[in-house]
Amino acid sequence: MNLDFSPEQQRMREAARRFLAERCPPAAVRKVLEGEGRYDRELWRELAELGYLGIAIPEEFGGSGGGYLELCVIAEELGRVLAPVPVSSSVYLATEFLKIGGSPAQQAAYLPKLASGASIGTFAMAEEAGESVAGSIHAQVAAGRLTGTKTPVPDGDTADFAIIAAGSANAPGPSLYLVDLRGAGVERRPLATIDPSRSYAELTFSGTPVEPLALGENGERVLARVLDGAAVLMAFEQLGGADFALEAACAYAKDRWAFGRPIGSNQAIKHMLADMYVSATLARSNCYYGAWALSTAADALGEAAASARISATQAFQHCARNNIQVHGGSGFTWAVDCHLYYRRSNLLALALGGLARWEDRLIDTLRRQRAATEL
Amino acid sequence: MDFEDSPAEAEFRAVARRWLDANAPKEFEAALRQAGFGELNLDGIDVLTASKSWQRRKAAAGWACPHWPREYGGRGLTPIQQVIWQQEEGMYARLATPFIVGHGMCGPTMMTHAREEERRRYLPPLASGEEIWCQLFSEPGAGSDLAGISTRASADADGWIVNGQKVWTSFAHLSDFGLLLARTDPSVPKHRGLTMFYVDMHSPGVEVRPIKQANGQSGFNEVFFSDVRIADRQRLGGVGEGWHVALTTLMNERLAIGSGMTTGFEAIFNWCCSLARSGAPVFDDRAVRTRLATWAARSSGLKYTASRAITALSRGTTPGPENSIGKLVAGSTMQEIAEFALGLAGPLGVVSDPRSAVDGGRFQAMLLRAPATRLEGGTDEILRNIISERVLGLPPDIRVDKDIPFNRIPSRSN
Q: What is the CATH number of the domain that holds A310?
A: 1.20.140.10
* Per-window interface: B 289-308 vs A, CB < 8 A: 289-290, 292-294, 296-298, 300-305, 307-308
Single out the residue in A197, A214, A231 at which a domain terminates: A214
Residues A238 and A334 in one domain: yes
- Are A271 and B393 within 8 A, CB to CB? no
What is the C-alpha to C-alpha distance for residues B284 and B297, in angstroms, rounded to an integer? Answer: 19
pLDDT tens digit sequence for B24-49: 999 998 888 877 666 677 878 899 99
Cβ–Cβ under 8 Å, residues B293 and A313: no
HEC per residue, B142-193: ECCCHHHCCCEEEEECCEEEEEEEEEEEECHHHCCEEEEEEECCCCCEHHHC
pLDDT tens digit sequence for B127-155: 999 999 999 999 999 999 999 999 999 99
CATH fold of B7-100+109-127 reads Butyryl-Coa Dehydrogenase, subunit A; domain 1 (1.10.540)
Q: What is the pLDDT of residue B253?
A: 56
* Average per-residue pLDDT for chain B: 91
Q: What is the pLDDT of residue A373?
A: 83
* Per-window interface: A 247-266 vs B, CB < 8 A: 250, 253-254, 261-262, 264-265
How many Cβ atoms from other residues are within 10 Å of residue A355's Cβ? 18
Q: Is B288 exposed, middle or buried (0-12, 13-18, 19+ CB in 10 A)?
A: buried
Residues A284 and A336 in one domain: yes
Residues A230 and A370 in one domain: yes
User: Choosing from B39, B71, B253, B266, which is the catalytic residue?
Assistant: B253
Nearest Cα to Cα of residue B374 among B325, B323, B321, B330: B330
Residues A246 and A286 in one domain: yes
Cβ–Cβ under 8 Å, residues B95 and B50: yes
Following DSSP, what letter does each residue of B208-273 receive, concatenated?
Answer: EEE---TTS---EEEEEEEEEEE-GGGEES-TT-HHHHHHHHHHT---TTTT----SHHHHHHHHH
Enclosing domain of residue A176: 121-214
Three-state DSSP class for residue A163: strand
Residues A208 and A304 in one domain: no
Considering only CB atoms, which chain B residues are within 8 Å of A367?
273, 276, 283
Q: Where are the domains of chain B?
A: 7-100+109-127, 133-251, 265-378
Single out the residue in A116, A146, A180 at which a domain terminates: A116
pLDDT tens digit sequence for A224-263: 999 999 999 999 999 999 999 999 999 999 999 999 999 9
CATH number of the domain at A134, please: 2.40.110.10
Question: Among A207-216, B134-143, B236-245, B267-276, which stretch is predicted with the lowest mean pLDDT?
Answer: B267-276
Cβ–Cβ under 8 Å, residues A33 and A24: no
Residues A354 and A237 in one domain: yes
Three-state DSSP class for residue B21: helix
Residues A364 and A225 in one domain: yes
Please report the number of interchain residue pairs, chain A to chain B, with beta-carbon separation below 8 angstroms: 168
Residues A236 and A110 in one domain: no
Distance from CA of B341 to the nearest CA of A (A): 17
pTM: 0.95
- Using the Cβ of B272 and the Cβ atoms of chain A, whether some distance falls under 8 Å is answered with no
What is the C-alpha to C-alpha distance for residues B251 and A242, in angstroms, rounded to an integer? Answer: 29
Given a cut of 70, whether residue B277 has pLDDT beyond it is no
CATH number of the domain at A73, please: 1.10.540.10
Any catalytic annotation for residue B253? yes
Q: Is residue A17 part of a domain?
A: yes
Peptide bond into B140 cis (omega under 30): no
Distance from CA of A61 to the nearest CA of B (A): 26
Cβ–Cβ under 8 Å, residues B394 and A277: no
Given a cut of 80, whether residue B260 has pLDDT beyond it is no
ipTM: 0.95
Q: What is the pLDDT of residue B255?
A: 47
| Nearest residue, CB atoms, A366 vs list B1, B269, B384 | B269
Q: For residue B132, give the DSSP letter.
A: -
Given a cut of 50, whether residue B257 has pLDDT beyond it is no
Q: For residue B68, give the DSSP letter.
A: S
Question: Among B201-215, B311-325, B351-365, which stretch is predicted with the lowest mean pLDDT?
Answer: B311-325
Q: What is the pLDDT of residue B320?
A: 73
Q: What is the pLDDT of residue B258?
A: 40
Given a cut of 50, whether residue B283 has pLDDT beyond it is yes
Cβ–Cβ under 8 Å, residues A147 and A186: no
In which residue ranges of chain A is pLDDT below 70?
375
Q: How confident is the model at residue B4 (pLDDT cuts 50, 70, 90)?
A: confident
B218 vs B279, more confident = B218
Q: Determine whether domain B133-251 maps to CATH 2.40.110.10.
A: yes
Single out the residue in A116, A143, A166 at which a domain terminates: A116
Q: Is residue A262 part of a domain?
A: yes
- Using the Cβ of B281 and the Cβ atoms of chain A, whether some distance falls under 8 Å is answered with no
Residues A109 and A36 in one domain: yes
Residues A194 and A228 in one domain: no
Q: Is residue A105 part of a domain?
A: yes
Domains identified in chain A, total number: 3
Given a cut of 60, whether residue B259 has pLDDT beyond it is no
Identify the architecture of domain B265-378 in CATH. Up-down Bundle (1.20)
pLDDT tens digit sequence for B73-99: 999 999 889 989 999 999 999 999 899
Q: What is the pLDDT of residue B248?
A: 77
| Nearest residue, CB atoms, A278 vs list B289, B311, B328 | B328
Cβ–Cβ under 8 Å, residues B190 and B147: yes
Q: What is the pLDDT of residue B30?
A: 86
Q: Is residue A2 part of a domain?
A: no
Cβ–Cβ under 8 Å, residues A317 and A349: yes
Three-state DSSP class for residue A111: helix
Which amino acid would we find at residue B35? A
